[in-house]
């Protein structure tokens, strides 16, 4: 087995692309085995989503202590989460602490953008072409590129003409942005915008929100974690992670096992009132299971949430504009908010419905809708991401016979277990499309995916295999299973990144569902991937020809 090094040279056994939450855990597992491995990231430093997203209000919507890594008892004992839902600066500090504690930085190279990845069938190796003109060679590529790492600006005329400051939330400046007294526009009302608006409404001079489609949202109910509470959490970590492993979403929140129609309306309201006032995703994930599958149940619950919004927003016209009419609560990932709805009660906050008065262009001084011009000092584009496959599409990936992954996935991804793709041997995706990560508490999904990929690699190293490629039949069976799981869920109808929708990405407009996520929940997903491993990695073809010198 290859010895570790500090990243010198162009030949490696494994190259990991992405130094975010997944990449950090992946390189930790490889380093523990002494594998010659390297992590590449286009960013100037590690952290992935927590390096880039520095906008006001950026924080976990997972309970902090369920988000952190579970692999080290010592790490769990040392780290004190300060808030129930930790904010970006602390999250980035945590990831740096992990990397430094376990000596992982020596395996990482930053400002390294991978532009091409080409599989050499004769040698069973990958050639990676970097933006700086250099090339690296490896036996295995692990894509830890993130689910929401390719921002999508709006397709508006005149964006370069604006004389003030403007940026997509993903690229929020690293230096402080003083919004005091400024006229600020936020375009979009998705999860990110909901965090920003609640955070800056009382700090800016004037805030105008341009909304096309409202999103359902529920209270985060964040709070500090005291020393005593953190001590109690440390004692309960085994139980906490056990709960995450048995729940569909990988959170502590377990669904109510009573039937929606088996309890009275009064009992349903009592549960909803309780959950609405509790922290986190309980209002979504500790609810009745029927809200995800039964139109009538979802409609009744959505009406309840709509009434809660009306109670929080003083102006009834504004309240109605903030209540979605095109989808029910919970059929797409639910943003959690702090003071979001109350922000619209302030005289300095204005809501513009651009489904009624569309934005025509960005101007030198602000923007123009179909009815008037607006002047702003700062324009914030909170217009989402090319989710799930966007980061894969950024790399020109060529497999067997020169087939392009981009072309293969043009109409939607097809994978084996969400972690392998037929015709692209030795390309591993611990959190890939159709895996159990995108629809769960992400770090819990990450650990499941990385652990499975590591077991596969060890299986190969122990037996002298040099390539692994899933069969087309196995891949088609998995994709058909993923597709079937959509059929029972109301989310199949949503204009959401869960279904591949993004009006700012050509070809991803509404009208064609992309089957991006596994909807069976964490326990079923883990059982499925473990079953494949237990059967000697059934559905994967291994190559055992003599190893080339290139990857030794």
Q: For 206-224, write each residue's pLDDT tens digit.
A: 999 999 999 999 999 999 9
Per-residue pLDDT reduced to its tens digit, 398-428? 999 999 999 999 989 999 999 999 999 999 9
Other C-beta atoms lying within 10 Å of the C-beta of residue 346: 15
Tell me which residue has tokens 């293969």. 408
Average pLDDT over residues 359-371: 98
Alpha carbons within 13 angstroms on the beta-carbon side of residue 86 total 20
Reading the block at residue 125, the tokens are 């190796």
C-alpha dist (Å) from residue 35 to 27, 173, 407, 457, 467: 9, 37, 32, 11, 17
**417 Cα distance to chain centroid:** 18
Q: What is the pLDDT of residue 387?
A: 84
Q: What is the pLDDT of residue 498?
A: 64
**115 Cα distance to chain centroid:** 22
Report residue 497's pLDDT band, with 50, 70 and 90 as the boundaries.
low
> Is the predicted pLDDT of residue 121 greater than 70, yes or no?
yes
Q: What is the pLDDT of residue 552?
A: 37
Share of the chain above pLDDT 90, in %: 85
Q: What is the pLDDT of residue 519?
A: 87
475 phi, psi to nearest 5 deg? -65, -45
> Is the predicted pLDDT of residue 546 greater than 50, yes or no?
no
Average pLDDT over residues 52-63: 96
Q: What is the pLDDT of residue 114?
A: 98
Given a contact cutoff of 8 angstroms between Cβ atoms, the answer to whether 413 and 514 are in contact is yes
Q: What is the pLDDT of residue 8?
A: 52
Our CA angle for 107, 113, 117, nearest 5°, is: 90
Per-residue pLDDT reduced to its tens digit, 231-269? 999 999 999 999 999 999 999 999 999 999 999 999 999
DSSP letter assigned to residue 298: H
Tell me which residue has tokens 């953190």. 230
Total residue length of the chain: 552
Share of the chain above pLDDT 70, in %: 94
Report residue 166's pLDDT band, with 50, 70 and 90 as the boundaries.
very high
> Is the predicted pLDDT of residue 134 greater than 50, yes or no?
yes
Average pLDDT over residues 149-171: 95
Q: What is the pLDDT of residue 550?
A: 37
> Is the predicted pLDDT of residue 431 greater than 90, yes or no?
yes
Put residue 303 in one of left, alpha, beta given phi > 0 → left and psi -120 to 50 → alpha. alpha
Report residue 491's pLDDT band, with 50, 70 and 90 as the boundaries.
low
Q: What is the pLDDT of residue 517?
A: 86
> Is the predicted pLDDT of residue 205 greater than 60, yes or no?
yes
Report residue 332's pLDDT band, with 50, 70 and 90 as the boundaries.
confident
Report residue 2's pLDDT band, with 50, 70 and 90 as the boundaries.
very low
Q: What is the pLDDT of residue 392?
A: 95
Average pLDDT over residues 81-95: 98
> Is the predicted pLDDT of residue 273 greater than 80, yes or no?
yes
Q: What is the pLDDT of residue 7?
A: 42
Per-residue pLDDT reduced to its tens digit, 450-465? 999 999 999 999 999 9
Q: How high is the mean pLDDT of the chain?
A: 93
**266 Cα distance to chain centroid:** 36
Average pLDDT over residues 154-170: 96
Helix or strand holding residue 27 (H, E): helix 21-32
Given a contact cutoff of 8 angstroms between Cβ atoms, the answer to whether 413 and 135 are in contact is no
Put residue 479 in one of left, alpha, beta given phi > 0 → left and psi -120 to 50 → alpha. alpha
Q: What is the pLDDT of residue 499?
A: 65
Q: What is the pLDDT of residue 25?
A: 98
- State the Cα–Cα distance between residues 188 and 198, nearest whole angstrom: 13
> Is the predicted pLDDT of residue 493 greater than 90, yes or no?
no
Number of separate helices (H) and strands (E) present in the chain: 17, 20
Average pLDDT over residues 289-309: 95
């Amino acid at each position: 087995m290859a010895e570790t090094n500090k990243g010198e040279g162009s030949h490696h056994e494994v190259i990991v692309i992405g130094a975010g939450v997944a990449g950090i855990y992946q390189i930790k597992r490889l380093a523990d085995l002494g594998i010659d491995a390297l992590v590449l990231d286009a960013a100037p430093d590690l952290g992935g989503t927590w390096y880039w997203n520095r906008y006001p209000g950026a924080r976990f919507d997972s309970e902090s202590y369920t988000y952190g890594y579970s692999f080290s008892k010592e790490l769990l004992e040392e780290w004190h989460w300060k808030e129930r839902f930790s904010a970006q600066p602390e999250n980035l500090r945590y990831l740096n602490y992990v990397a430094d504690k376990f000596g992982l930085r020596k395996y990482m190279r930053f400002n390294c953008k991978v532009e091409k990845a080409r599989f050499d069938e004769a040698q069973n190796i990958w050639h990676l072409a970097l933006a700086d003109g250099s090339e690296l060679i490896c036996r295995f590529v692990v894509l830890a590129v993130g689910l929401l790492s390719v921002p999508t600006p709006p397709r508006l005329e005149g964006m370069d003409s604006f004389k003030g400051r403007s940026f997509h939330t993903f690229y929020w400046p690293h230096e402080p942005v003083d919004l005091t007294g400024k006229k600020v526009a936020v375009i979009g009302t998705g999860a990110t915008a909901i965090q920003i608006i609640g955070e800056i409404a009382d700090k800016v001079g004037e805030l105008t929100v341009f909304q096309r489609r409202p999103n359902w949202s529920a209270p985060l109910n964040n709070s500090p974690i005291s020393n005593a509470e953190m001590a109690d959490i440390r004692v309960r970590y085994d139980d906490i992670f056990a709960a995450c492993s048995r729940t569909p979403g990988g959170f502590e929140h377990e669904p109510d096992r009573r039937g929606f129609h088996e309890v009275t309306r009064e009992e349903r309201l009592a549960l909803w009132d309780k959950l609405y006032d509790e922290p986190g995703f309980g209002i979504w994930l500790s609810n009745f299971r029927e809200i995800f599958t039964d139109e009538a149940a979802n409609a009744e619950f959505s009406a309840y949430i709509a009434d809660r919004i009306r109670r929080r927003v003083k102006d009834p016209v504004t309240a109605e504009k903030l209540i979605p009419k095109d989808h029910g609560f919970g059929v797409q990932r639910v943003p959690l908010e702090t003071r979001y709805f109350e922000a619209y009660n302030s005289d300095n906050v204005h809501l513009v419905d651009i489904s009624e008065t569309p934005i025509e262009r960005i101007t030198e001084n602000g923007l123009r809708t179909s009815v008037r011009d607006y002047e702003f000092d700062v324009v914030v584009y909170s217009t989402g991401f090319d989710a799930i496959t966007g980061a894969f599409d950024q790399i020109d990936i060529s497999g067997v016979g020169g087939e392009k992954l981009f072309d293969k996935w043009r109409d939607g991804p097809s994978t084996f277990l969400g972690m392998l793709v037929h015709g692209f041997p030795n390309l591993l995706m611990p959190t890939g499309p159709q895996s159990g990560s995108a629809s769960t508490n992400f770090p819990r999904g990450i650990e499941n995916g990385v652990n499975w990929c590591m077991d596969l690699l060890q299986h190969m190293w122990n037996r002298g295999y040099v390539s692994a490629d899933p069969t087309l039949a196995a891949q088609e069976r998995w994709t058909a299973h993923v597709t079937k799981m959509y059929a029972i869920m109301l989310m199949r109808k949503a204009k959401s990144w869960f279904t591949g929708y993004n009006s700012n990405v050509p070809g991803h407009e509404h009208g064609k569902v992309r089957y991006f996520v596994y909807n069976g929940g964490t326990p079923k997903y883990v059982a499925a991937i473990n079953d494949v491993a237990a059967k000697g990695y059934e559905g994967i073809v291994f190559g055992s020809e003599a190893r080339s010198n290139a990857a030794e």
